[in-house]
Amino acid sequence: MARARARFPWRWRRALVQLGALAVFLWLARPAAPHAPAEAGWAFRLDPLAPLSALLGWTWSWWLLPAVAVLALALLAGRWFCGWLCPLGTCLDGCAAAGAPLRRRLPPAGAAIARVRWLRGSLFAALLAAALLGLPLLGVLDPLALVARALNSLDPWLRAGADHGSLWVADQVPAAAGASEPLYRWLSDHVLIQRDAVPALALLSLALFAGALLAELVARRAWCRLLCPLGALLGLAARRAPVRRTPDTTCGSCTLCATACPAGALTAGGKLDPAACIQCQGCQDACPRGLPRPARAAGPPAGEPEVSRRGFLAACAGGSAAALAAGGGEPPEDCLRPPGVADEGAFRRACVRCGLCIGACPTGGLQPLALEAGAGALFTPALVPRRGGCEENCTRCGEVCPTGAIPRLSAGQKPAHPLGLAVVDRERCIPFAQKESCLVCEEFCPVPEKAIRIVGRHGPGKPRVIADRCTGCGLCEQHCPVEGVSAIRVLRRGHASAGDD
C-alpha cells in the first residue's frame, strides 16, 4: 500500500530543526556572554565526545548526562544527532545546498569515498588508543569544537567589521545612524567580543573548518563519512540499533533512495549500513512510494561494518605507536594552565578543545597552544599574560568548561591555585635598568596585600615579588610598559628559573 508523500517534506522539517539548533549553538558560544556564562558549555553537554574526554581524564560532571542520552539514542535508534543537531553537519548541508551546481560539475566521488569508508573508524580507534597512552587529540577533530574554534577565530573580525561598518554607515547615511547605532551598541554589549586581538591558531582553526566545508563539494557529508570521530562513535553505537531504516535494502532496480542518501548509508548492493545513516529521512522524500521509515528491525544489519577486526587492531597499534613516539612532552616554563588545573596529563585528556574558555576569557589571555608543549597539547588553553592576565574575581573558564577539565573554582578559591610565579628581569625592568620610576606592575597586582612590593631607598623604588603571595595572574606582565617582552614574566611554579626573586 503506497503512502502519500508527506505534504511537508522531511528536508524542510530537518532544515528548520538544524537552523534552530545552529542558532542556539552560536548564541551559546558567543564570546560576550555576561558574568555567569555557564550556559556556554550547554551545547557541548550534548556532545558524546565530551563525556568520553572527561572519562579519559578521570573527571566527571553530571552535567554531561545529556551527552550520554545522545549516545543512548544512537544505541537505540541511530545517529539523529548527526542529521538533525550537529552544528558542523548543518554548516555542511548549507554548503552542499549552495555548492550543488559546482559539485555536479566535479566527477562523482561517491564510489571512491565508499572504498575508503574504513578510514573514519580506524582514525577513531587510533585516536582513542593514542589518548589512552598520553596523546589525547580526539577533541581536535570534534565537530562541535571545530565550529566553536572557527567562531572564536572569527570573533575579532566580526568586531572589527561591526566597528568599521557602523562608522561607515553613520558617515555615509547619517539618517540611518539612528537605527544603526543602537543596533551596534546592543551587538557590542551582548554579542561581540570585547577585544580586537586575533587568537592564536586562528588560521589553523579556520582552515580545519574550511577543509570540512570544501570536502562537501567533493561528496556529500564527506567529513562525516571519512574523518569525524563523533560520527565514528555514534556510528559504532548505531551499528546494532534495534530501530533503523526499514526496509534495510533498496527495492529491486530502483535506487532513488540510495542516490538521494547524503551519507552513503546504502552500501554496495543497496544494503543499509546503520552506522552510516544520519537519520535525515531524505530517503522518505526520495521514494516515489514514501516507503522507508524508521522501524523496529528484525535481524542484524544487512551491510558490512566499516572497519574489519584486523583494520581495527592495526589502527590501535598505529595510534599507540604515535603516542609513544610523541612522548609526554613536559610543558615549557611559560606554559600556564587555567586556574585550578593541577595534573597536566589528566587536563590534556579531559580537554575537548572546544575553545569556549578562550572565547570567555575577558582579558584574552587564554590562548590555544600549538606545539609548544608537545603535540598532545594542541588547541589546549594556556594563559599568555602578555595578551591578558587572569582577573582576580573571574572564574569564567571553569564555568564554561563542558568537561570539567578546568575545575569550577569560586573567586575565593582561586588564590590557593596559583598559575605560576612572577619573576622580574632586572636587565629590562625600568627602575633597575633605566633608573626611572615606573611601578605599573605593583599598581595592577590584584592581591589585596600586594604580591609585588616597591623597595629600595636609593633611586626609584624597585619591584620585588613576594613568592608566597603571588597568584601568577600575570596582570603585571600584561601591563608592563616595557616594549616587546615584559620585564616581569610569570613562569610555572617549581620551574628552575622561577622563584629567585
**Residue numbers at the binding site for another protein (CB under 8 A):** 34-35, 160, 163-164, 166-167, 170-171, 185, 188-189, 194-198, 362-363, 391-394, 430, 436-440, 442-450, 454, 479-481
Give the residue with the Cβ less far from another protein, 160 or 317: 160
What is the distance between the alpha carbons of residues 398 and 361, in angstroms, rounded to a whole number? 10
Give the residue with the Cβ less far from another protein, 229 or 388: 388
Q: Cβ 478 to another protein, closest distance in Å?
A: 9
Give the residue with the Cβ less far from another protein, 194 or 308: 194
Q: Cβ 35 to another protein, closest distance in Å?
A: 7
What is the distance between the alpha carbons of residues 345 and 322, in angstroms, rounded to a whole number? 16
214: burial class by Cβ within 10 Å (0-12, 13-18, 19+)? middle
Concatenated DSSP letters for 227-285?
Answer: T-HHHHHHHHHHTT-SEEEESSB--TT--HHHHH-TT--EEGGGEE-TTT-----HHHH
Give the residue with the Cβ less far from another protein, 26 or 170: 170
Q: Cβ 142 to another protein, closest distance in Å?
A: 28
From the CB of residue 489, how many other CB atoms can be counted at a distance below 10 Å?
23
User: Three-state SS across 452-492?
Assistant: EEEECCCCCCEEEECCCCCCCCCHHHHHCCCCCCCCEEEEC
Give the residue with the Cβ less far from another protein, 153 or 284: 153
Q: Cβ 34 to another protein, closest distance in Å?
A: 6
**H/E element, 421:** strand 421-424
Give the residue from 336, 345, 438 showing the smallest Cα distance to 390.
Answer: 336
What are the cell numbers at 56?
Answer: 579519559
Give the residue with the Cβ less far from another protein, 194 or 497: 194
3-state secondary structure of 493: coil
Q: Cβ 436 to another protein, closest distance in Å?
A: 5
What is the distance between the alpha carbons of residues 216 and 92, in angstroms, rounded to a whole number? 6
Give the residue with the Cβ less far from another protein, 286 or 480: 480
Give the residue with the Cβ less far from another protein, 304 or 392: 392
What is the distance between the alpha carbons of residues 172 and 170, in angstroms, rounded to a whole number? 6
Q: Cβ 195 to another protein, closest distance in Å?
A: 7
> Is-contact 18 84, C-beta < 8 A?
yes
Q: Can you tell me which residue has the cell 625600568? A: 430
Q: Cβ 332 to another protein, closest distance in Å?
A: 22
> Is-contact 238 275, C-beta < 8 A?
yes
CA distances from 448 to 339, 437, 452, 496 (A): 18, 22, 11, 28
Q: Cβ 291 to another protein, closest distance in Å?
A: 56
Give the residue with the Cβ less far from another protein, 101 or 448: 448
Give the max Cα distance, the chain.
Answer: 99
Give the residue with the Cβ less far from another protein, 14 or 159: 159
Q: Cβ 220 to another protein, closest distance in Å?
A: 39
Contacts 24+ apart (CB under 8 A), 20-28: 21/84, 21/85, 21/87, 21/90, 22/87, 22/90, 22/91, 25/87, 25/144, 25/147, 26/87, 26/151
Give the residue with the Cβ less far from another protein, 156 or 229: 156
Give the residue with the Cβ less far from another protein, 230 or 360: 360
What are the cell numbers at 484?
Answer: 616587546
What is the distance between the alpha carbons of residues 375 and 244, in angstroms, rounded to a whole number? 39
Q: Cβ 498 to another protein, closest distance in Å?
A: 23
What is the distance between the alpha carbons of residues 221 and 225, in angstroms, rounded to a whole number? 6
Q: Cβ 445 to another protein, closest distance in Å?
A: 8
From the CB of residue 468, how many other CB atoms can be counted at a distance below 10 Å?
7
Q: Cβ 186 to another protein, closest distance in Å?
A: 11
Give the residue from 353, 91, 120 showing the smallest Cα distance to 230.
Answer: 120
